[in-house]
Structure 1
Amino acid sequence: MAHLPAAGPTSVRTTGDYYQWLVAWEGCLTLLRENATRSHNPVRTVGVELDGVGNLDDVVLLRDAPPNTYKQVKYAVDSATPVNEGYLTKPSAKGGPSILKKIARTWKGLTADDGSADLRLVTNRAADPEDDLMAGRDARTGLLMPKAAVGGSNSLRGKARARWAQEAGMTEAELIDLLSVLRFDLPLDMVWYQENLRLLMAVTGLRHDQRALEEGADWVARMVREGSRELTMAMIEAAVTELDLKAGPARAVLSIATLKPDPLASDADHAIDWIDRFDGDSDYTKRRPLPPHTWAQLQADIEAAPGRLPAGTTAVSVTGSIRLAPAFLVGTTFRMVTGTDLAALQRGRAGSQLWSTNDPFIAAQTPGVTEYEIGQGDEIAVAIAVATDPTEDVLEYLREQNLPVSKLIVLTPPSGTANDGSVPDSTAANALAVGIRDHLRRSTRRVRRMHLFLACPMGLAVLLGNRWNRLCQTIVYEDIKIDDGYEAAFTIEA
């Protein structure tokens, strides 16, 4: 395979500019979504290389009330310079102030009158895991706090704090205050960052293919070339119309993470972070709450989410990494009877899609049905076998646990075959969700409790939960792969 040639100065400069335009386009998306969803204190103007704000002027998000957000954008062509003390405290190539000193001076100027500011260093560079302070960066917030403040003056962190404070020209107490608002947004790798922006475009109600993303960034570049350094809502909305980017409603974002950090969490209107409360060392093994945390606590957090979103919210997108039982619970929390247009970001072979409960379909899809007699009681067990077939595992679990069920109903796609591609898009998912619900309404009419096992795309679990009404009380199980194989997660009144 032929290798790309080393990047020349022009290529590096051009790519760095494009990276900055992406950061500015992200600000434009934030402005559009926050204003459309009536977020508290939304962004009103996006500044690009704005005058009068010091060195954190690359991208500025201006709001009605502080804190405004000030971003310094630094692009690197390779991984030779991680973010560490040396990188932050090294004088510029021309012998000027270091990055840290520039940030410190800007922060002091922005907060001179007891004001507040949200500061960001945005780069595709990675944090140096060997650096005394950067190693403590919180991946959820991008802040070096609280770990940067831990340790006495003779500790490695304490000595590093003293060096950073001296270089910044401030006391250690002032440095701690600065590090409490300075977020290190890294490593925002170009490919990963573009994927994240496409997801943000989706929840903003815009086309979110690569071409649409490039058109948005190119528009920012054109505005800057023409001398427009403050991009207003009117200008951005006109650009959306000019570029034919509109695809649907802008949505409030609910981020729920139990497996790994959600890249959209910082843009969310409400975020539920249970990563550290789930048992397991990786997103492949995190399948149930880590004691003393419980499924009931997670259910309470999810069911409280509607009250945490902006008042009057009617369109919601759920993002993040969750397994199927929590995804189903999100759907039931925002059930169709509440009038909420609920959508989920579904990743698949065709890339990321937005599966919305409002997407139209011609007719319900009648699922394939197979029933197995159990004879242990008068309740019903149901297995949704769409992505894979869990029948043998569910049968074994029902019998070993002696659950009081009369039979197991296995529901498959109309083809009768469960596979990863059996539900290609939102239209098919909605049609199948309605078909499954309608079948269960008929077959469980005289049943007081249902035991539900899910093996389907996450988006289908959300859409199915959204339509889960006029059914009996439902216990939803999670596939935990160990011990008994399944675990009762949530009880839902339907």
Structure 2
Amino acid sequence: MKPLPAPSPTSVRITGDHYQWLIAWSGCLTLLRENAIHAANPVISVGVEADDAGNLDDVVLRRRTPPHTYSQVKYTVSSATPVNEEYLTKPSPTGGPSILKKIAKTWRTLTADGIDVDLAIITNRAPDPSDPLIAVRDARTQLLLPKAADGTARSKTGQARTRWAQNADLTDTELHDLLSRLRFDLSRELAHVHEHLQLLMAVCGLRNDSHAVDEGANWVAQRVRDGHRTITLDMVKEAVDTLDLRTGPAHAILSIATLKPDPLADEADHTINWIDRFETDSAYTKRRPLVPATWTQLQNDIESAPAHLPGRSDVSVSGSLRLAPAFLTGTAFRMVTGADLAVLQRGELWSTRDTYDADCEPTVNEHDIGQGDDLAIGINVTVKAHDFTQDVLEYLREQNIPASRLLILTPPAGPQDRSVLDSHAANALAVGIRDALRRPARTHPRIHLFLACPMGLALLLGHRWNRLRPTVVYEDVGTANVYEPAFFVHA
């Protein structure tokens, strides 16, 4: 690919403005969604270059009850300067106060009446891994604390704290208080911001194509040009109607991450973060809990999730999870509870609300086991038929699972990659599988369930797992035995 020419100053300024409008549109979506799901303390307005917000006025989220969020948005076309002490403490190009000193002054002003605040630097600049304080940033909270408070005054960390405090005209205690509220939201590349907004628009029940994202950002830009520094809920609702963005209801967000960080975790109404509690450092090889963590603990966390969500029947599951946890999540919000579930699958929202013309009746193949009274079921949508069947049969026999027979269910055209293309097809197949199993399962005390399908289908199937027998759900853990029991689901 031929390199692009160096950007002009005008291009840099326009891109930087667009970056800020995208961040502001994200705040508008939070405003819209939190009020739609009746969140406990929703955002009530979004400020853009707000008055009385000092150096943190780029995007301000005002909530019904403080703390409000005050953000400084910084964009650069060059990665030559990371976020570090030099970047934060050097004077401005005109010789004015440093970024850190401006933030400290704003913080003092905003908290002069004793009201707490949430502060953020949002930028596409990367953190400097060699900086004593920035390097200890907690990726989960985006805060430098608690590790930035470690070490004596003579340590590298302590000496850096002293320099920061002197630059900002703060005492050591004041610097600690500031750092307990100042989030460093770093490495937010323009492409990542776009992707994040597409996810957020989907769970808001809006069109989430790239054009829709830009329409939202451009709408914010026009409001600013028209002199509106405060964007209200009514203004955002009007924009949604004017831009024809609405596709469905807004969802409460349940974030479950077992493989890699969830881009929507910060917006989630409830978060289950098991990334560090699963084996290996690679998202591609994480398959089972890391001792002492157990499947039972994960099941308890997932099954308690409904109690942590706002009183809303529409729930969107975000994050990264394997098939057994996805199925279990579906059963935690199964249809008989009145909940409607949605999940992002390949960038599209698969929802239990989506209709279809007719149930998709699966093909059923039966294999004799003769080891007990239970029923083994394999649902294979994506794996070569012979390989999946042999893996399940070998596991059942080697582990002496007390099953009398194994039923293998596949789509009518057989298992293949992308055999379920969209939400409508997934719902039709989930209902067809459930209905095909109800009568055969009646005479068995227990089901042993093995899955090879899209994650979204596993969730939709769990949602409809009613009028069936108690079920042991197995996970493919990539060992010599292939599977291990993960969860037990009551009928």
Q: What is the TM-score of this pair, normalised by structure 2?
A: 0.98
Amino acid at match of 2:380: A
1:281 aligned partner: 281
Aligned to 1:238: 238
User: d(CA) in 1 for partners of 2:326 and 2:424?
Assistant: 18
1:419 is displaced (CA, Å) by 2.2
Structure 1 residue 484 displacement after superposition: 2.5
1:369 aligned onto 2:364: yes
Give the aligned partner of residue 313 of structure 1: 312
Letter in 2 for 1:426: S
Q: What amino acid is aligned across from residue 329 of structure 1 in structure 2? A: L
Task: Find the counterpart in structure 2 of residue 210 from structure 1.
Answer: 210
Residue-by-residue CA offset, 1:313-362 (whole Å, 9 max, x unaligned):
11100000111111101100000011111101112xxxx01000110011
Residue in structure 1 matched with residue 390 of structure 2 by the alignment: 392
Which of 436, 448, 466 in structure 2 is aligned with 1:439?
436
Q: Deviations over 1:253-292 (max 9, x none)?
A: 0001111111100000111111111111111121111111
- Of residues 467, 473, 476, the one that matches 1:476 is 473
Distance 2:170 2:365 in 1: 71
CA distance, structure 2, for counterparts of residue 163 and residue 321 of structure 1 = 41
1:334 aligns to 2:333 (yes or no): yes
Whichever residue aligns with residue 331 of structure 1, its letter is G
The DSSP-based 3-state class of the residue aligned with 1:60 is: strand
Residue 45 of structure 1 is matched in structure 2 by 45
Task: Report 1:175-190 matches (<5 A).
Answer: 175-190=175-190
Q: State the shift of 1:251 in Å.
A: 0.6
Residue type of the alignment partner of 2:67: P
What residue is the counterpart of 2:452 in the other structure?
Answer: 455
**Deviation sequence 1:186-235 (CA, Å, 0-9, x none):** 21111111011010000011100011111100000000001011000111
Residues 138-157 of structure 1: per-residue CA shift (max 9 Å, x gap): 11111111111111112211
SS of the residue corresponding to residue 260 of structure 1 reads: coil
Q: How does 1:86-165 map to 2 (within 5 A)?
A: 86-165=86-165
Partner SS state of residue 317, structure 1: strand
SS in 2 for 1:55: helix
Equivalent position SS for 1:437: helix
Q: What's the CA shift for 1:399? A: 1.5
Residue 127 of structure 2 aligns with an amino acid whose one-letter code is A
Q: How far 1:2 moved relative to its partner?
A: 2.0
Shift of 1:307: 0.7
Partner of 1:319, secondary structure, is: strand
Q: SS of the residue aligned with 1:20?
A: helix
2:350 to 355, 360, 365: 355
The one-character-per-residue Cα deviations of 1:430-463 (angstroms, maximum 9, x if unpaired) are 0000000011112211111111111111110110
Describe the SS at the equivalent of 1:382.
strand
TM-superposed CA distance for 1:60, in Å, is 0.3
Give secondary structure in 1 for the equivalent of 2:201.
Answer: helix
Q: Per-residue deviation at 1:420?
A: 2.5
RMSD: 1.0
Pairwise mapping of residues 12-91 of structure 1 onto structure 2 (< 5 A)? 12-91=12-91
Match for residue 250 of structure 2?
250
User: 2: CA distance between counterparts of 1:387 and 1:129?
Assistant: 41
Could you give the per-residue CA deviations for residues 103-122 of structure 1, whole angstroms, max 9, x where no partner exists? 11111111112111111100
2:489 aligns with 492
Question: The residue matched to 1:320 in structure 2 has which SS?
Answer: strand
Percent of residue pairs bearing the same amino acid type: 65
- In structure 2, the partner of 1:299 is 299
Cα deviation, residue 95, structure 1: 0.9
CA distance in 2, matches of 1:353, 1:9: 37
Distance apart, 1:483 and its partner CA: 4.6
1:301 and 1:231 map into 2 onto residues whose CA distance is: 37
Q: Equivalent residue of 2:54, what SS?
A: coil
SS in 1 for 2:320: coil
Residue 417 (structure 2) pairs with residue 420 (structure 1):
yes
Distance in 2 (alpha carbons) for counterparts of 1:245 and 1:47: 22
Tell me how far apart the structure 1 counterparts of residues 260 and 397 of structure 2 sit (CA, whole Å).
34
Matched to 1:145, the amino acid is: L
Structure 2 unaligned regions, length at least 5: none
Structure 2 residue matching 1:355: 3-state secondary structure: strand
Q: Which residue of 2 aligns with 1:401?
A: 399
